[in-house]
């Protein structure tokens, strides 16, 4: 059973390994923390998967899907947890000690996967194929599109 429809998720930032199943940015409440993660209606046993403790954890609790808007958001290359200069990353959660976690997009085996990034993570952590993967170089951080790139409507 799907917890949300593809239409509710808006523009998917990527697709799963099959090339046709949309995957979305999401945030999941996990213990006393909120973790940026991936969500997709086709995932089982639940539509939410969190990279946590070296594993891909299927989340059964509360979560929220972020509607990706390519007109006001962009995916900027980054490495080693750095926030690209002049960019405003999109926050997706926090750890119990108060450190902010941002939405990231990493690549595993040729598949783009939403996950979490922050300076203290030294990269982007994503859940894929039962594991937590850390990508240190060449991942993307979701950022607010620069004002001079936005069209006036």
Q: Where exactly are the structural domains of the chain?
A: 7-142
Q: Is the pTM of this model over 0.95?
A: no
Q: Can you give the pLDDT of all 153 residues of the chain as single tens digits?
A: 344 555 667 789 999 999 999 999 999 998 899 999 999 999 989 999 999 999 999 999 899 999 999 899 999 999 999 999 999 999 999 999 999 999 999 999 999 999 999 999 999 999 999 999 999 999 999 999 976 655 544
- Long-range contacts at 52-57 (CB < 8 A, ≥ 24 apart): 52/127, 52/132, 53/132, 54/131, 54/132, 55/127, 55/130, 55/131, 55/132, 56/127, 56/128, 56/129, 56/130, 56/131, 56/132, 57/30, 57/127
3-state secondary structure of 70: coil
Q: What is the pLDDT of residue 1?
A: 32
């Amino acid at each position: 059973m799907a917890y949300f429809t593809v239409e509710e998720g808006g523009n998917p930032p990527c697709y799963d390994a099959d090339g046709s199943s949309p995957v979305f940015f999401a945030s999941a409440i996990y213990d006393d923390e909120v973790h940026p993660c991936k969500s997709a209606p086709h995932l089982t046993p639940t539509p939410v998967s969190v990279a946590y403790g070296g594993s891909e954890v299927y989340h059964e609790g509360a979560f929220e899907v972020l509607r990706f808007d390519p007109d006001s958001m962009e995916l900027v290359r980054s490495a080693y947890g750095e926030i690209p200069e002049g960019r405003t990353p999109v926050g997706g959660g926090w750890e119990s000690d108060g450190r902010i976690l941002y939405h990231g997009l990493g690549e595993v085996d040729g598949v783009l996967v939403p996950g979490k990034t922050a300076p203290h993570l030294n990269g982007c952590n994503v859940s894929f194929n039962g594991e937590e993967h850390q990508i240190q170089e060449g991942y993307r951080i979701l950022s607010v599109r620069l004002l001079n790139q936005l069209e006036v409507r």
